[in-house]
Amino acid sequence: MYISVAIDTPLRRTFDYRLPADLEHPPVPGARVRVPFGHRQVIGIALEHRDRSDVPAAKVRPIQAVLDLEPAFDETLLQLLRWSADYYRHPLGEVLAAALPVALRDGAPLRAEQFEWRLTAHGRTNALTELPARASRLRAIVQYLSEHPAAEPGALLAASGATPALLKKLSDRGFIERVARAQTVPTLHSFAAEPGPALTGAQQQAIERIGRTLGTFASHLLYGVTGSGKTEVYLRLIAQVLAREEQSLVLVPEIALTPQLVARFQARFPLPIAVMHSGLNDTERLQAWRAAREGNARIVIGTRSAVFCPMPRLGLIVVDEEHDASFKQHEGFRYSARDLAIVRAQRHHVPVVLGSATPSLETLHRARQKPEWLSTLPERAAARAEPPRWSLVDLRRNAQTQGIATPTLLAMHRHLDAGGQIMLFLNRRGYAPVLFCPSCGWSAHCKRCDAHLTVHGRAGALLCHHCGAQHPRIDVCPQCLAPAKPVGQGTERIEETIAESFPNASVARLDRDSIRKRGDLEAVFERLDRKEIDILVGTQMLTKGHDFPNVTLVVVLNADQGLFSTDFRASERLAQTIVQVAGRAGRAERPGEVLIQTEYPDHPLLAKLLQGGYDAFAAGAIEERETSRWPPFVRLALLRAEATSLSAPMRFLAAALEAGRRESVRDVKLLGPAPATMERRAGRHRAQLLVHAPSHAPLQRFLQAWIPALEALPTAKRVRWSIDVDPIELF
């Protein structure tokens, strides 16, 4: 008589609805239904059928329509989504909505409508005699259909030069009718993939080790130095999966930054590949989702939300650059796609491969506890490609030209003269991070954030990189009317300096400001491949696994930004960034060189990286984490709150602290509350409270009891609050 429905709402509950007695097709679990909700109608996901409800029968309203005769989510995927909602303590309705393309949330059909137009008996007899002679396009439609038994809409409109409105006009007059076209069921079959390059011994061993686990769950770490051929391992494994008539899911941090990866897959496998990322419009995303769900797409490549893509014959999951913070969703449903990929693989009984040259410490620690699931690629795959030579440039002892030390300039001249290409890495876009008055000490601050406004030269503006506020650039101090000047370097200023220092070199910039529209990134890479660019200046975009065989020198212009952070993950992120960007150098036969500019050349982190690489850093960092009781040796959750004043979040978190102390779960500690490091952002004041637990089970028991108590707090209504389980950003 009843069915529970999950609705896209921040309420942590489901809603009961009555099934009308005359309903021809009751909804199956996982199907979409249209239901009344308040004063409007919404689309929800049907869950369990029930013979009674806790709500009085008179108040239970009936569902309005069943949109799907089959589930949008199969049983395994639906259970994964329900588990995710429980684990991350997020409303189930919002979780299910996040896993659907926008078009399906708005009521689009699950399957692409396949239909044709044909003449009715009335139209075949009377249309041409009743239509006026001047109605040339209407008559062209009828004439075309009189010569063809039926026609698809696209072909019909193209042949007649008509519009969909004219088809409707003829249909309304009874001359033509729309009929369903038979659905075709895709057949997966083996095929011959394009041959790949010769494998190294380490690659062959990794493929054999991982291939033996196809058809069962295993969580593999493919730990390979930059340029060691991890992508080739993925391709060979996917070929085996395709031979088993199964599908493969490949997750990447940012699809817009990895056009080379998609191109390699398309070149190797001559079959449909679905690509899913936020740069697609709603129609494109729906088409990719349908192709995966119906089995037409044998391979799906996507960003974090693709972890929820329905794939009926899933055989393998790959998470490339598994360490990347982009796999964590930081707003709304705060999930980790990497972690959910492991859970999904476990539920589908398939292997998952986590690949990286700089694995997260959690992944590395887990893999070393199960060495049979650890595969290493210690050498570069290209013939005669050697690891780049690393050196530190002491900024305290060398003269600088706008942040570029003299030894760096000399090395750049040397590599350019030898015909090499150069990359300069600075993770700070814009012209300068501060506009400063030397006379009175004034600096340009954002009025809505605790942050400086960044000077952008090309735009002639002062921008806040946190809330997006924009103001015209000024050259005079508003307090003392003395000249104000930009202080520090951003990628724009470095580009300008390099152009002045190397007038005969071709210089380009790669950051969010220079890459504005689809195709811009690919254009830069193509120019780099054609050696039309000599020096490339860029931000984090340079670290995303690109392969540029002609780059021989990489310079990290400022390695000190993460050396002294209060965040316990800062050193890990800095080490990963340095190793990843350094890995762009010397990937072919020509030797590579890496220069790291720093004012702290004796810092232990830099010393470990230079002497022992990422392995040495990771070993020391894992030992420090165990001593100080940070992940992966404990589990964390973060309660965040924000409001237009600081007092409201702090009062709520103080009440949350008291409520948490009443929940007696052994060894669970509450730390705080405290204002966030950037207390004010986008006009809202932020504070947080950290939950520290020895393992997963006590953390989840505590949250299960604590969150209902938080919802009942009177102060909860005066703030915007959220729970982040397994946070990767604490401060």
Asked whether residue 661 is assigned to any structural domain, the reply reads yes
Let me know whether 299 and 349 are in one domain. Answer: yes
Which of 88-92, 368-372, 546-550, 566-570 has the least mean pLDDT?
546-550
Average pLDDT over residues 662-679: 88
Nearest 5°: CA angle at 529, between 523 and 531? Answer: 105
pLDDT at 313: 95
Token representation of residue 500: 């002045």
Is residue 185's pLDDT more than 50?
Answer: no
The H-or-E segment that residue 404 falls in is strand 404-405
Let me know whether 170 and 235 are in one domain. Answer: no
Asked whether residue 597 is assigned to any structural domain, the reply reads yes
pLDDT at 257: 62
**What is the DSSP code string of 471-504?**
EE--SB-TTT-PBPEEES--HHHHHHHHHHH-TT
Q: What is the mean pLDDT of the chain?
A: 89
Let me know whether 644 and 570 are in one domain. Answer: no
Examine residue 259 and say whether the peptide bond preceding it is cis (omega within 30 degrees of 0): no
Asked whether residue 467 is assigned to any structural domain, the reply reads no
Let me know whether 613 and 645 are in one domain. Answer: no
Q: Is 402 left (phi over 0), alpha (psi -120 to 50) or beta?
A: left
The H-or-E segment that residue 82 falls in is helix 75-87
Let me know whether 205 and 270 are in one domain. Answer: yes
pLDDT at 472: 92
pLDDT tier, 194 (very low <50, low <70, confident <90, very high otherwise): low
pLDDT (tens digit per residue) in 348-373: 999 999 999 999 999 999 998 999 99
Token representation of residue 165: 């409105």
pLDDT tier, 329 (very low <50, low <70, confident <90, very high otherwise): very high
Asked whether residue 266 is assigned to any structural domain, the reply reads yes
Let me know whether 506 and 589 are in one domain. Answer: yes
pLDDT at 506: 93
CATH code: domain of residue 528: 3.40.50.300
Average pLDDT over residues 411-438: 92
pLDDT at 110: 87
Asked whether residue 582 is assigned to any structural domain, the reply reads yes
pLDDT at 258: 66
Last residue within a domain, chosen from 564, 597, 625 = 625
Let me know whether 88 and 128 are in one domain. Answer: no
pLDDT (tens digit per residue) in 249-270: 999 998 766 667 788 898 899 8
Let me know whether 542 and 422 are in one domain. Answer: yes
Per the structure, how many domains does the chain have? 5
**Domain encompassing residue 650:** 635-725
In this structure, what DSSP letter does residue 382 have?
Answer: S
Asked whether residue 325 is assigned to any structural domain, the reply reads yes
Q: What does the alpha-carbon distance between residue 274 and residue 252 come to, in Å, rounded to a whole number? A: 13
Let me know whether 210 and 353 are in one domain. Answer: yes
* 612-639 b/e (C-beta count within 10 Å ≥ 16 → b): ebbeebbeebbeebeeeebbbebbbbbb
Token representation of residue 36: 């009344």
HEC states along 109-163?
CCCCCCEEEEECHHHHHHHHHHCCCCCHHHHHHHHHHHHCCCECHHHHHHHHCCC
Is residue 190's pLDDT more than 70?
Answer: no
Is residue 483's pLDDT more than 70?
Answer: yes
Examine residue 632 and say whether the peptide bond preceding it is cis (omega within 30 degrees of 0): yes
The pTM assigned to this predicted structure is 0.87
pLDDT tier, 650 (very low <50, low <70, confident <90, very high otherwise): very high
Let me know whether 205 and 284 are in one domain. Answer: yes
Last residue within a domain, chosen from 595, 625, 655 = 625
Asked whether residue 124 is assigned to any structural domain, the reply reads yes
Asked whether residue 6 is assigned to any structural domain, the reply reads yes
Let me know whether 147 and 280 are in one domain. Answer: no
